[in-house]
Each structure stands twice: as structure tokens, then as C-alpha cells.
Amino acid sequence: MNVELRHLRALAAIGDEGTITGAAATLHVTQSALSRTLEQLESRIGTRLVERTTRRLVLTDAGGRLWERAHGLLNQLDEALAEASDGPRPLRVGFAWATLGSLTVPLLRSWRDEHPDTPVRVHRCDDPELALRRAEVDVAFLRTSPQAWPQFHAEPLFEEPRVAAVSEEDPLSRAPSLRLDDLADRTVALCATAATTNESLWPVNRRPQTAEVANVDEWLTLIATGDAVGVTADGTRHSHLYPGVRYLPISDAAPITVHLVRPRIQTHPEADTFLEFVQRAVGASDRSEAVG
């Protein structure tokens, strides 16, 4: 089809920016040149990639799929060129909310000791799934059920308890543990970047009111002020200690399965080694807790 890198870079920028003006500024080209490049790409592959409106550009379904793949291809190319000149790069690990709770720091220190030539860089991502598809991270810890993506492996690591997050001023904070029903009459804060909690945890006739927030800082603030309560993974209490917030066990909530997800076509040569290392570390931790 004679598609060139400039065509993929043009589509990637247009999808990111949503306008020809913004994309042209990002690529440092004129708007007319960028429009011609987009038209060439659509002509060469024989399908419309962008729906043009008076205010914005919207990717078609085909455009959205190619936009994701274009980001992945371009990222891998940039990394290959950088590696050729600068040597191997770190392994990038993505996560949305909490990594592996209390296991995180010991695990990363042990990896550094065993694999000193392959540093790990941890990246918090609003959407780790998208970051994987775009090759912005090499592996990701996910607490949501992985989608049926043929291009990814998802390995379950362990089951993690859920905990409640309440204000220290809330009478509930004095209880040793809670049940979901104890929270049903409260407003439950839901964070857009962590889809482990929703109304379906409660019976239909006891579902609480909810308030959606954009990120973990807003979630914690809403809870600390007593305007809401939260339900989250146990790892949160290790990663997100916050003044005025107390975490309590929930006795009747189903646990969350933590997965390590990686592409079938690896973006880093040590991705499989990292998976095996994490599996050993998690297994050793489980055995230690059982002995204790």
C-alpha cells in the first residue's frame, strides 16, 4: 500500500489532538500539508479513517484501530533506534491504582539485585490497557478482568482482599471490620482510573448512591472529608496512606484477581523473565504468610 511513517505519525497526532490545527502544531507542519498526508493515507488503504466536522475530527472505527496500532509501531521503532544508539532500555511496568501493595518495594529491590542490567521503571497510567496496546509500557498489573484480546497474555497472580476506606471521623471507622451492607446507606466514591468497584457489588435492592471522581487524589479527599466512603483493593492501603482516611477489612466482599498482562509479541526481551520472577515472589509471599 506504500504507507510511510509520516502517514502513521499524522494519524497518531490527529487522533491524539482531535483537530488538524493541534496535530499540525504537534508535528511542526502546516495544516494543509497534514490534511494532504491524511488524504494520502486514506486513499492508499482505501477506507475513511476520520470523520470531519466543523469543530473536531473523530476517528472512524477503522481509524481508531489503526491509531492504536500506529502508536505501538511508532513507539517500538523509536525504542529500537534509541536502543541501537544508547543500549538496552528499562522494562516499563504499568499500573492504574496500586502496584502490588506491600510486595511492591521488596519485589523491585529483589529484581534489581538479581537483574542489575535490566532496570524496571514503574509508570502510573490512567488506562494501562491502552498503554499496552500503544506499546507505552511492556507489562501491566491489572485488577480488572482482562478483555479477550488475541494479542495479549493475561496471567493471574493472586487474589487480593477488598477493603473499605472511611473517614477517621466516621463512626464506622471504630469497627474492626465492615460488611458491604454497612456502606449501602452512604455515598460510595468511584474512581474513573480504577474500575474494581461498582454498584454490582451490592444486591439490587441495597445499592448505594455513587459519586465518580477523576483520580485517586480526588477519591481520597472526598473520603477524608466524610462526604463519601470507598471500596478498594487491599494494595491501596499500602500505596495510598492519607491523613484522615482509615482502611478496614470487608468480610463479605469477593476478592479481586491481580493479573500481569503482556503482549504476545514482546516489546521487551525480559518481559517473560519478569513474569516468572513475579510469580516466584508472589508464591514465596503466600508461603511466608501461611507459615506465619
Is the confidence at residue 150, as pLDDT, over 50? yes
Domains held by the chain: number:
3
Q: Are residues 151 and 167 in the same domain?
A: no
- The CATH number of the domain holding residue 123 is 3.40.190.10
Same domain, residue pair 197 and 271: no
Furthest-apart CA atoms within the chain: distance in Å: 68
Assess contact for 99 and 84: CB atoms under 8 A: no
- Residue among 62, 34, 67, 35 at smallest CA distance from 48: 62
Rounded CA gap, 134 and 280, in Å? 28
0.85 exceeded by the pTM?
no
DSSP states of 102-142 as a string? Answer: GGHHHHHHHHHHH-TTS-EEEEE-S-HHHHHHTTS-SEEEE
Tell me, what's the pLDDT at 209? 96
| Same domain as 103, residue 70 | no
Last residue of a domain, one of 29, 64, 84: 84
- pLDDT tens string 163-195: 999 999 999 999 999 999 999 999 999 998 777
Domain boundary, last residue among 44, 68, 84: 84
Q: Are residues 151 and 260 in the same domain?
A: yes
Domain boundary among 46, 64, 84: 84
- 242 shares a domain with 178: yes
Asked if residue 199 and residue 239 are part of one domain, the reply reads yes
User: Containing domain of residue 174, as a range?
Assistant: 162-249
The string of pLDDT tens digits covering residues 74-119 is: 877 877 777 766 667 899 999 988 888 889 999 999 999 999 999 9
Burial readout 225-250 (b: 16 or more C-beta within 10 A, e: otherwise): eeebbbbbbbbbbbbbebebbbbbeb
Q: Within this chain, do residues 263 and 201 fall inside the same structural domain, yes or no?
A: no
